[in-house]
Amino acid sequence: MTRLFNRRTRPIWIAALVIVLVELFVFNLPHWRSLSSAEPLTNDASTVGAGLAVRGSGAYEITDPTQAYVQVDGVDTPVSYVHVDAEGSWDEMLQDARQTTQDSRPKDSWGLALLDDTYDNANETLSMTNVRMDVLVDGQWRANRADYYNANIEESNYLANRASDGNAQAVRLWFQEPAGSKIRFTSMTVNARVPLNLSPIRLLAMALVAAFLIVFRPSSALWRIPLDTHSRGQRWALAGLLAPAAIVALSITVGNVWFFSPGVYHHPGQFTYDFDQYAHLADSILKGQPWLDLPVPQELAAADNPLDIATRNRLVQSGVHPVYWDYVFFNGHWYSYFGAIPAVLLYLPYQAITGGMLPTATALAWMMFGALVFGSLLVVRIIRRYFPGASLGATGLAILVFTAGANVPYLCYRSNFYAVPMTSSLLVTTLGLWLWLGAKRPDGRLSMVRVGFGALCIAANLGCRTMYVFAALLAFPIFWQDIKDIIAGVRARTMGVAEIVKPVAAMVLPALAVALPLLWYNHWRFGSFLDFGNDYQMTVIDLTHYKAPIGDLPLTLFYFLFLPPRFIDVFPFLAISPSPYINWQYMEPSIGGIFFAIPLLVLVVAFPFLRRRLHGRHLWGFGWTALACAALVMLFDAQKAGFGWRYMTDFSWLITLAVLFAMLAFMDFTPAADDLLAAGGRIERSMPLGQRRMIMIVIALTVATAAVTFLSYFVVGRQDSMYRLVADLWTSFGSWFKAL
C-alpha cells in the first residue's frame, strides 16, 4: 500500500481527485442545482404559436418567425431548468429525406450532385434548433439569452433559466430559425431533473491535461535526464509519441477507402464547388495535357472577359454551370493555381495504380504525419547541435511548442485542399532543415549529399506553397562558419577550385533541378515562366485588374500580429473578431492576431534580450534571420493575399524558431562528464531558478494555446465552421458548458 501512496505517486492521486471533483461538481453542477427545484411539470405544448404548422408527429414548419413558439401554462413555481423533448417520430417523408445520401441526390446534366436549397429545405428537419426561453413572472415576460437544443444530443436539451428566480406563471419557447425551417419538437418539461452525466471523453481530456502537467512539472524526473539521441529507449519513446498520429492517418486512409465520394457540389444559380483540385491536376498530368479535364460551359468560353465579376455572376445566375469556384480559367480551359508537387508525388502514383481519386483527407493525413515526424526530428537536432545539455523535459516541451507554433492544429482542422499547400511545404521544409543541420560530419567536413537533398526539399516549396521558399535564407546562419571558411580560403588562396565549387554546386544544382521544371510547367500552361496562374482565379474579385491598396497594408500587418480577440459569455466563449478595412481587401474570418491565436508565440519578446546567451551558441544570427524571413513572408502575404487565418501558417513556424531558441536558452545546462557518469545518466542537482520559471511560463502558455485552439474549432462563422458542417459534434462539446 505504501508503494501506491508515496512522494512520486502523490501528484497522480491529487490529479485524479481533482478530475473526479471537477467532473462531479463543476460539469455536473446543473444536476445538483436541479435536485432542489420544484416538482417537474410536463405539458404537451398547451399553446402553439400561429407561426408553427404541424408537419407530422413531432415535426413543425416555421411559417411566421414572429409567432413561432410553444408555451406551457399553469406553472406557478420558480423555474430552474427546462427539458426539451425532441425525440418523437416525424413525418415519413422527412425521415426518408434525412437518410438521403450524396449518391441519391438529384443530378444535373454534367452528373454533379445538386445541393438545391429548395430540395434540401423542403425535405430535411433541423437537428440543432436555436431557441430562446422566456418566463412569465409577475405579469411580465423575462427573456433568457439565446440558446439551442439538438434532437440528436440529449445532453443539450436542458435549458437553464437565468432570467428570473421568482414564481413563473408560464414558460414560452421561441424557435429562432427562418421561415420554412423544419424543426423537431414533442414537448417540454419545466423544472426537469438534469441527470448526472459522467463523460468518458471529458474525463480523458482532463486526464491528458493532468498528465501533461505532471510529466513536465519542474520537479519531474524528465528534467534530470539528458537528451541522448543514441539511446534506444529514447528513440522508442519518440516513436511512441508519434504513433497516435500514424494510427489516425491509417484510420483515415481505411475510412476513405469505404466512404470516399467526389467532393463536388452545385447549387442551382450559383458557382460549383469541387474540392478535388489535386486529383484533377494529377489526372491532367497523367493525360499529358496542361489543363484540367473539366467541362467548360459554352457561354463562359464565349464571354469577352469571363473573369469579370458582373459577367460571371450574370452567367451563373442565369443557370450556366459548372463555373468552378477558386479554379483558374484561362484561354477556355480550367487549371489549378496550386503547386503541382503534391499532385505528382502523392495523387499521381495512387491514381495511376488504382484508377481512382486519392481522397485529399488521406493525402493530408500522411503529409501531416510526415511533418510531425520531421518537425520533431528537427527540434531534436537543434537541441543536439546547439543545446547539448538539454534534458528530455526540455526536448519534449520544445517539440510541443514547435507543433503548436507551426499552426499544425489549425491545419489538422482544415482537412480540405486549402491545407495541402501549407502541409506539404511544412513537410519538405522541416525535412530540408533537418538535413542541413545534420550535414556537418564529426570530422568537421560537410556531407554534400545532405546539403544537396536539403536544398532539393527547400526548393520543392516552389511547387507546394511558395511562401515557404524563404526558408532558403536560413542556409546562411546554418552554414555561416563554412561560408566564412570558404571566403577565408579564397582570400588566402589556400583552397582549391573543387573545394569552393563542390558546396556551391551541392546547394544550387538540386534547387535548379526543382525550379526549372516548375518554371517550364508555368510556360506550358500560361505561356510565361513566371506566371503561376494566380491572377486567373474564379474568386471574390477579378485579380487581372485588381491592385491591392497600399494604404491597407499597415492595417493587415496589425491584424496578423495584434488583432484583438472577441470574448462572449456562451460556448465557445470566442467569436470572430472584426477586421475592417478602409478599402476592399480579402479578409478571412479569424479569432485574433497570431499572438492570441497561438499564445506561445508571445515568448518571442524574450529573444532580443538573450544576445549573450545565444551569441556563443551561434543562434543570435539564426534567430534574427528567422524573424526577418517571417517579416518578409508576412509582408508579402499582406500585400498579395490579404488577411487570412491560414496565411499565419506561412510565417508562424519561423517565429517559433526564435521562441525555441529563447526557451531552450533557459532550459539547458551541461553537467560535468564525471557528475553525469556518477549519477547514472540522471542529473541529481537543483534546477536553476531561471529555468524553473521558464518551465512554468511555457507550461502555462502551452495550456493556454491548447485551450484557445480547442475552442477555436467551435467558433461560429469561421471557415469550415463545425457549427454548420457537423452540428452534432459541435453540440456534443457545447453541452459540456451550456447548462452552467
- For position 668, what pLDDT does the model report? 73
- Is the pLDDT score of 106 beyond 80? no
Confidence band for 670, pLDDT divided at 50, 70 and 90: low
Q: Specify burial of residue 222 (Cβ count, 10 A radius: 0-12, 13-18, 19+).
A: middle
- For position 545, what pLDDT does the model report? 83
More confident residue, 725 or 282: 282
Q: Write the DSSP assignment of 344-411 as a string of letters.
A: IIIIHHHHHHHSSPPPHHHHHHHHHHHHHHHHHHHHHHHHHHH-TTBBHHHHHHHHHHHHHHTTHHHH
- For position 505, what pLDDT does the model report? 92
- Is the pLDDT score of 115 beyond 50? no
pLDDT digits (tens, 9 = 90+) for 216-267: 999 888 998 999 999 999 999 999 999 999 999 999 888 887 777 777 777 7
More confident residue, 124 or 149: 149
Q: Write the DSSP assignment of 708-726 as a string of letters.
A: HHHHHTT-TTSTT-HHHH-
- Is the pLDDT score of 111 beyond 60? no
**What mean pLDDT do residues 538-549 have?**
84
- Is the pLDDT score of 465 beyond 70? yes
CATH code of 28-190, in short, is 2.60.120.260
More confident residue, 539 or 448: 448
Q: Give me 109's grid cell.
A: 446534366
- For position 740, what pLDDT does the model report? 63
Q: Specify burial of residue 502 (Cβ count, 10 A radius: 0-12, 13-18, 19+).
A: middle
Selection from 345, 560, 359, 375 nearest residue 464 by Cα: 345
pLDDT digits (tens, 9 = 90+) for 445-454: 899 999 999 9
Q: What is the pTM of this model?
A: 0.90
Selection from 731, 292, 719 nearest residue 525 by Cα: 292
Backbone φ and ψ for 128, nearest 5 degrees, come out as: -100, 125
Cβ–Cβ under 8 Å, residues 110 and 321: yes
pLDDT digits (tens, 9 = 90+) for 133-186: 999 998 899 999 889 998 888 899 999 998 888 899 999 999 999 998 888 888
- Is the pLDDT score of 102 beyond 60? no
**What mean pLDDT do residues 599-628 have?**
94
**What mean pLDDT do residues 37-62 have?**
83
Of 123-127, 241-245, 304-308, least confident by mean pLDDT is 123-127
- For position 101, what pLDDT does the model report? 43
More confident residue, 25 or 41: 25
Q: State the chain's mean pLDDT as an integer.
A: 87
pLDDT digits (tens, 9 = 90+) for 488-515: 887 877 777 777 888 899 999 999 999 9
Quick one: what percent of the chain has pLDDT higher than 70? 91
Cβ–Cβ under 8 Å, residues 204 and 145: no
Domain ranges across the chain = 28-190, 217-252+359-671+686-739, 263-354
**What mean pLDDT do residues 296-319 have?**
90
pLDDT digits (tens, 9 = 90+) for 337-351: 999 999 999 999 999
Question: 3-state class of 686 per DSSP?
Answer: coil
pLDDT digits (tens, 9 = 90+) for 207-228: 999 999 999 999 888 998 999 9
| Residue matched to cell numbers 444535373 | 108
- For position 45, what pLDDT does the model report? 60
Question: 3-state class of 566 per DSSP?
Answer: strand
Neighbours of 210 (CB within 10 A): 17
- Is the pLDDT score of 100 beyond 80? no
Q: What b/e string do you get for 304-342 counting C-beta neighbours within 10 Å, with b at 16 or more? A: eebbeeeebeebbeeebbbbbbbbbbbeebbbbbbbbbb
Q: Write the DSSP assignment of 603-666 as a string of letters.
A: GGGGGGG-HHHHHTTT-HHHHHHHHHHHHHHHHHHHHHT-B-TGGGHHHHHHHHHHHHHHHHHH
Whole-angstrom distance, CA of residue 385 vs CA of residue 21: 45
The amino acid sitting at 657 is L
Sequence-separated contacts (24+) of 576-583 with Cβ below 8 Å: 576/715, 576/716, 576/717, 576/718, 579/643, 581/552, 581/555, 582/549, 582/551, 582/552, 582/555, 583/549, 583/551, 583/552
**What mean pLDDT do residues 548-552 have?**
84
**What mean pLDDT do residues 554-570 have?**
93
Neighbours of 449 (CB within 10 A): 11
- For position 267, what pLDDT does the model report? 73
- For position 44, what pLDDT does the model report? 62
Whole-angstrom distance, CA of residue 612 vs CA of residue 469: 30
Of 7-16, 99-108, 286-295, 692-701, least confident by mean pLDDT is 99-108
Of 98-112, 178-192, 699-713, least confident by mean pLDDT is 98-112
